[in-house]
């Protein structure tokens, strides 16, 4: 992720990653009480572009607000800082990780003081060309009565680690995680769609992180007249469908090979999902559909 020269943004300054220090007496380190984002920048014909910076930084501020974490940066300030960070590190295709964390305070009360760091590293997708083999996880998403699932909170990702590692230990690439009613929710770090008869289906909001990529898929479908429905469904309805994909900032659009060893039936190149995958690559690189 970093070398001796890598710069990060940390509390008002650009500093070398290797020299950055924080204290160990904080709620974020001990309790997972932090909020963060995952953003990507792309090399485009118009220079380096951060994809949907405004949407990501609005979500970061909203996550902090929901968690009662003090956070005063504006979206514009955050966007400007991120472009400067990319420039200072000479990055174009990159993954950007802003993190807001609380310290020093060990109590179980709202954060008194927050720190912002923005990290970035080179990122080229290797996932795209392949299809992933997926299993239904034995772990469920956290109950939305226990957590605020629309916030992107550090602690939520313990659930993601358990689900993803279980899948890998059993020889799969990724997990499909259900909600507490056993409806399909999402993957460990991406939203999910499946395709049947030329129509796309994706879980409605409730137990999912409503992704910015998911929203982009809706926009692409609207543009290309591909019907899409937000609804609750069981994994049985999805298994053996024509096609399915995960979508997220890091994953982009990645096709599923199978769910619980039951293959998706249509040739990927003949699906609407593939049309959306191609369109997404154009959108992020600022080319028209």
Residues at the site binding ligand PMP, with contacts judged by CB under 6 A: 38, 160, 186, 189-191, 209, 211-214, 248-249
CB of 213 to ligand PMP, least distance (A): 3
Smallest Cα–Cα separation from 83: which of 70, 98, 64? 98
Which CA distances in Å does 107 have to 28, 31, 69, 104, 151? 11, 10, 14, 9, 21
Closest approach of ligand PMP to the CB of residue 208, in Å? 6
Which of 20/228 has CB closer to ligand PMP?
228
Provide, rounded to whole angstroms, the least separation between the CB of residue 113 and ligand PMP: 26
Nearest residue to ligand PMP, using CB? 211
219-224's contacts with Cβ under 8 Å and 24+ in sequence apart are 219/283, 220/276, 220/279, 220/280, 220/283, 220/289, 221/276, 223/279, 223/289, 224/275, 224/276, 224/279, 224/289
Q: Calculate the alpha carbon distances from 257 to 152, 228, 271 in Å.
A: 28, 21, 13
Does residue 104 have a cis peptide bond before it, meaning omega lies within 30 degrees of 0?
A: yes
CB of 83 to ligand PMP, least distance (A): 19
Q: Pick between residue 181 and residue 205 the one whose CB is nearest to ligand PMP.
A: 205
Q: Which of 40, 49, 52, 152 is catalytic?
A: 152
Nearer to ligand PMP, 179 or 186 (CB): 186
Q: State which residue, 29 or 250, has the beta carbon closest to ligand PMP.
A: 250
- Contact call for residues 175 and 184 (beta carbons, < 8 A): no
In the block, which residue shows the tokens 């939520």?
156
**Please, which residue, 11 or 165, has the CB nearer to ligand PMP?**
165
- Which tokens is 81 given? 């800082």
SS3 255: strand
CB of 2 to ligand PMP, least distance (A): 21
Known active-site residue 152: yes
Other C-beta atoms within 10 Å of 11: how many? 11
Please give the radius of gyration of the chain, using alpha carbons only, rounded to the nearest integer.
19
d(CA 119, CA 97): 5
Beta strand ranges found along the chain (DSSP E): 7-10, 13-16, 34-36, 39-44, 47-50, 94-102, 114-122, 132-140, 174-178, 184-187, 191-196, 199-203, 228-231, 243-248, 252-259, 262-263
Tell the smallest beta-carbon distance from residue 184 to ligand PMP (Å): 12
Select 190 or 244, whichever has its Cβ closest to ligand PMP. 190
Residues that are catalytic = 152
């Amino acid at each position: 992720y970093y070398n001796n020269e890598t710069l990060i943004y940390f509390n008002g300054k650009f500093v070398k990653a290797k020299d950055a220090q924080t204290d160990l007496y904080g709620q974020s380190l001990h309790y997972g009480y932090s909020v963060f984002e995952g953003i990507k920048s792309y090399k485009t014909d118009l220079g380096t572009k951060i994809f949907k910076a405004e949407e990501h930084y609005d979500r970061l501020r909203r996550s902090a607000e929901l968690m009662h974490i003090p956070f005063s940066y504006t979206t514009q300030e955050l966007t400007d800082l991120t472009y400067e960070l990319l420039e200072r590190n000479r990055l174009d295709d990159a993954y950007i990780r802003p993190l807001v964390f609380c310290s020093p305070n060990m109590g179980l009360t709202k954060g008194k003081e927050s720190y912002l760091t923005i990290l970035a590293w080179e990122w080229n997708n290797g996932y795209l060309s392949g299809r992933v083999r997926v299993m239904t996880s034995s772990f469920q998403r956290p109950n939305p009565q226990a957590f605020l699932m629309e916030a992107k909170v550090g602690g939520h990702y313990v659930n993601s680690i358990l689900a993803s590692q279980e899948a890998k230990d059993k020889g799969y690439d990724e997990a499909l995680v259900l909600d507490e009613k056993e409806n399909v929710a999402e993957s460990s770090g991406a939203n999910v769609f499946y395709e049947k008869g030329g129509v796309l289906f994706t879980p409605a909001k409730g137990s999912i992180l409503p992704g910015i990529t998911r929203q982009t898929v809706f926009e692409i479908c609207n543009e290309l007249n591909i019907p899409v429905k937000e609804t609750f469904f069981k994994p049985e309805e999805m298994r053996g469908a024509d096609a399915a994909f995960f979508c997220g900032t890091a994953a982009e659009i990645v096709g599923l090979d199978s769910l619980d060893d039951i293959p998706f039936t249509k040739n990927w190149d003949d699906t609407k999902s593939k049309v959306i995958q191609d369109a997404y690559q154009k959108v992020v690189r600022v080319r028209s559909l």
